[in-house]
Every structure is written in C-alpha cells, then in structure tokens.
Amino acid sequence: ERYGKQKVVYHINYDNPKKQTGALRNIQNHINAVGAENLDLKVVLHGHGLALLLDPDSLAKLKKFKHANANETMTAKIDNLKSQGVDFNVCANTVRGRKVDIDSDLYNVDKSDIVPSGVAEVAYLQANGYSYVKP
C-alpha cells in the first residue's frame, strides 16, 4: 500500500456550512485513499467549529453562534464518518464559554467526546505523531 498506516487530526474552527461540508468530503476522500482500517482520524472542533454539530433548533438561544449546521444532510455524513472510525472531539472551553448543553444542543456528542481544550488537543495529538490537516 502506498500510504500505510496514518494518524491524522483534522482541525475545524470555522462555521461556514459549505466549508464544513467540504471538510467532511476531504475526510471521506482520505478514508477512501488510505482505508478506514489504516487510519486513526480525529476531528477537533472548537470555537465556531462547533456549528458542525449544533442543532438548528438551538441557534436562537445560543447568541455566540451564527450558524447551526447539524441538519439531516450533515448528520448523515457525520454518522457515516463515525461508522468508519472517525472521532469528533469537542472543546470544553467552547462548550462552557458559549453555554452549550451537550445533550440538547449538539448532535450525538457524549462526555467521552469532550476534550479540555481544542487548541491544546490539536497540539497534543501533533506531539503524539498525528499529522495536522486544516481543511
């Protein structure tokens, strides 16, 4: 195999829905090229990036967000990526600072998906051999 085993962190801290859709497409293309079995892939979301998992019904009450992109189309893509082993990690600082309720505001996020700091998580993963991708 050309690519062998890979450990990769995708960093998303923007809320543009087209850009986020493109990022998920990049991830799927990456899986297609390397094979899910050869890939340890984590997506780290912080700041505006949480819009990827934000329920559109929660947008009105969360004043610090301009977009809530977890519509049916986006959540289907997320489910598909998760079924191929992709982890979506969410920054606790953003959750706290923007008063996000992980149970009611975010799509399919468990306590185990929360990391203390998105930025520190990205740096930690890079220090532990994960290649950095900013789609």
pTM for this model (two decimals): 0.97
Tell me whether residue 65 is in a domain.
Answer: yes
- List, for residues 80-104, the tens digit of each pLDDT value: 999 999 999 999 999 999 999 999 9
The total domain count for the chain is 1
CATH number where 123 lies: 3.40.1260.10
Tell me whether residue 62 is in a domain.
Answer: yes
Instruction: Using CB atoms within 10 Å of the CB of residue 5, give its burial: 0 to 12 exposed, 13 to 18 middle, 19+ buried.
Output: exposed
pLDDT number for residue 112: 98
- List, for residues 24-34, the tens digit of each pLDDT value: 999 999 999 99
Which residues in the chain show pLDDT less than 70?
none
Structural domain of residue 117, as residue ranges? Answer: 6-133
Tell me whether residue 1 is in a domain.
Answer: no
